[in-house]
Structure 1
């Protein structure tokens, strides 16, 4: 009977707060917002005026929140929202990770205006906002995945007699940073090796490394900025020789990205784009640091008779870095993807591997199967929708729990909590509408309209949200 009474009480508590819960359809069971109830039972909230000391209301308490970007949900905003410092955690299971967030917050004055509370809400969201896959990335992957489709307008993606691949790998000091227990460099090397291990014998492969000399100190800047070296010249893939080349360098200095792009252009000057498919893969974890202009270098390379397909993979790149690398890809009519771990990096190279396999089949006189492209687009769109829903569920739940925790810590009043939760529910609905709009944009694409649609997607989603 005692157990039954406790179960009944728990159900009543859940029902009582259900009108303010985030959408749990795609969230894990651990994210049900019962923790807020237990917190309040342990430490009952005081009267609404107890968290308002006169010195706080007179001070510049709002300054902490004022710089957070405004939450103005739209398809464009959602695709570009910056990742917050607590994005990877779940408050319901890792609430200790959020202790620093609350320690740095003062109580909100009881007479705070709605405009000021909106800034508090913006700040909360900025701390837990998640980085979502840019729709441009999906469209770019479809171009690579549709390699060989005769309906593609971009002739660079048509089958050519020769296939050349050059990989440009960043060896600046930051590539020594850890990614899931391994350095970024270790992860990159493993992914590159996996990509090329089954490369057709008649495909040409090259590897160029940059930033691998000196250190990140100012004294070594000149040395490091001049370091860009082809460690494996164009040839068929030889695993022993290529592995030796990969192991010949480690993270070291600065990032001469512009110079490296121009040298890669020189590397490929003998491969005319009319008879060669020329693939460039850039793996970098940051922006140019050697005073060059990588955007202009990428544009110059793309406009040459080499007609390269420039694919840029950003490895856990910050906002400024993503902006520059995206601009490089855009000016080169190439592709850009940002990855955070080995699985995502391997996934990007898997797409490249699939394109190489299609070329191999074509060389063996196999016909191109166009119907697989539409099937891939359908599956990718559904996968992206699931990613958005599930990832945003973490953001929504974290926002919910933080608001509740602020009240239990007596940093906001009950009325302020109510206002913030109403704001949260409004934003969640806007998110659902934005997701639906993004998926509709993607569902309308086919091979014949892929190039034009890519331009439209770029114009729509390539926006600064700050």
Structure 2
């Protein structure tokens, strides 16, 4: 049998203290609830001379407290519900709130007869006014677009590049292997189309040259020497002209060997008169294989970079085997450029437009304010104004309904009803006009900020495209 132990004195004191605290808290809460209930009950019987003066300016109405009936009986979310869910407001108002409102204001005006129009209006605001204007007005009046211009390079490197004439030399492999087919067509035809598109998109004023190699003779050993010497500038270095350039690409077909090193050396000769302190020089090569004429294209690319022209060499390997890719990649690295490999028409087009062009155009992808951002911001701004206007109109409508009830019960005369109705409509107009002015100011600022950024981007594009 367990030995019974009496609780210690300390434990007994602690229990008593907790009990007293709970009782005290319960009594305080009860007293507080009683006071709040008394305050609510007294509002319906507030003497007319104690009803606060209703605000008559937009600024004061924005800061007004909620009507006592609104605070006690009307859920804030339902009062400010968006138009699409307006039925929630209507249903709650008609089924729940309106009967309470009619009873309370009826009781008040039975005890406070012969009120002036101003006194009637003041009490209706005291009972039915919205206290939510500030919640939506503050974000409206402090609204900022948040639009930011994209990074538009204007530093020393970009400035130097802009000041310099741009020279682009394109080397086209026309060796016999370019006759082969890949998904999308014949390699030679696809390469020509991609080069034409690339040249057409170069910045205005860029000097262009198209060198073709391997387009003479055949793949036989008897034709090797002749084919390896055949490197031709079918479009000499000059500003791009669509008709002449397309005629140049149509003047040759895939045929012989691959004198890649000699073609790079000839590109160096073309650019030798254009030092890098005054010109930006670039070499672009489309090839489907390695050097087959005994030259050293890696050494040629290094030499090109070492000269004062400092031309960057970029290469697209078109359906190249592993050994070819290794050599072409080494050539591009030696020339300070990039190498990519493609297998079909789509990959070739993508690399020409996505890989090469950004290195030439800093303008690619630059835009002003994206449409979705602008639409989101205008919607946000409209929502603030719409919420405020809805709150204002609903307050006026509650007062209109209250006036109709009071008139039907003969608690106010027709003249008083008309005067209060006019005042309620005037105050509604004061609020809504103020909200509209702020909204229009913010909308104009939004539009100006968008135009400023868009204009800045367009000016930047135009400057760099000249």
Q: TM-score, normalised by structure 2?
A: 0.44
Q: TM-score, normalised by structure 1?
A: 0.44
Compare CA radii of gyration and give the structure with the larger one: 2
Could you say which structure has the higher helix fraction?
A: 2
